[in-house]
Amino acid sequence: MKLDHLALDIETVPAAPLEAYSATVQDKIQQKLERIQERRPEMDFDYFASTHGDFGQIICISVGYINQDLTIHLKSFFGEDEKQILEGFNQLIAHFNGVFIHYNGLTFDVPFILQRMAYHRIQPSNNRFGELRRYQREPHFDVMLQYYNWDMSRALPLGILAELHQIPSPKEDLSGDQVFQAYQKGEWAKIVRYCEFDVATTLNLWHKIFRYQDPLPIENYRFSQAGT
């Protein structure tokens, strides 16, 4: 089957502890953290690093699509070796000519992937993946930005919007700020399932909101073996 869409999501953790950086870099990080903490006092270095492509690393990339039989098929690249994760994902998208679907992916997931590819000297196999212009609908379709007409002040988190649309969400099992703790404990099955569930939730929202179809039940989700 030739795919016309592919959804994606990533999970990230700090690439190194704060003390691993030079004094100059640490000072710059502290300056950024102080500014951020004025709005978000709960922000610490680990969370900051996990959301920044220069200080974080990818531990899981999950992808998925809706099949003709209305099942959501999911697959993940995960583990300690970030370069291997990126190479696997890069190989997967090499000949993909459809639409990349994500939730806030143009702001976070896609730039983060490209920054980490640059770090590992991995040339993107699909030039379309690097097209990050604003207000586009292809090759990237950002469900969050499209739904809220690019107004970030109105945007809701994926789990909240899913709940409002009666769509299953993984947020009851794990949340983004708990991923690093799960990673430290080696809870890979939990991390992969959480990431794949985010992909399925994004696809289900896209299917309902932009295709005007009934939400798909969780029984239609086909998690990968790592996420079961």
- Tell me the C-alpha distance between 155 and 218, whole Å: 25
Q: Burial-class residue 137 by CB neighbours within 10 Å (0-12, 13-18, 19+).
A: exposed
- Predicted confidence band of residue 178 (pLDDT cuts 50, 70, 90): confident
Per-residue pLDDT at 221 exceeds 60: yes
Provide mean pLDDT across the span 18-36: 94
Q: What is the DSSP string of 126-157?
A: -GGGG---TT--SSEEEHHHHHTTT-TTT---
Sequence length of the chain is: 228
Nearest to 150 by CA among 132, 133, 134, 130: 134
Report the DSSP beta bridge partners of residue 63.
8, 75
- Tell me the C-alpha distance between 223 and 200, whole Å: 9
Per-residue pLDDT at 170 exceeds 90: no
Which pLDDT score, from 0 to 100, does residue 1 have?
Answer: 54
Exposure on the CB side of residue 68, measured as CA atoms within 13 A = 3
Which pLDDT score, from 0 to 100, does residue 48 have?
Answer: 93
Which pLDDT score, from 0 to 100, does residue 226 have?
Answer: 73
Contacts of 49 (CB under 8 A, 6+ apart): 13, 14, 15, 16, 18, 55, 56
Provide, rounded to the nearest whole percent, the portion of the chain with pLDDT above 90: 87
**In this predicted model, what pLDDT tens digit does every residue of 141-168 receive, in sequence order?**
999 999 999 999 999 999 999 999 999 8
The two structure tokens encoding residue 12: 């990230």
State if pTM tops 0.85.
Answer: yes
Q: Find out whether 63 and 75 touch, Cβ atoms under 8 Å.
A: yes
Q: φ and ψ at 3, to 5 degrees?
A: -80, 135
Output the domain CATH number for residue 194: 3.30.420.10
Contacts of 27 (CB under 8 A, 6+ apart): none
Domain ranges, residue 36? 5-227
- Predicted confidence band of residue 46 (pLDDT cuts 50, 70, 90): very high
Per-residue pLDDT at 44 exceeds 60: yes
Nearest to 124 by CA among 97, 98, 86: 86
- Predicted confidence band of residue 171 (pLDDT cuts 50, 70, 90): low
Per-residue pLDDT at 20 exceeds 70: yes
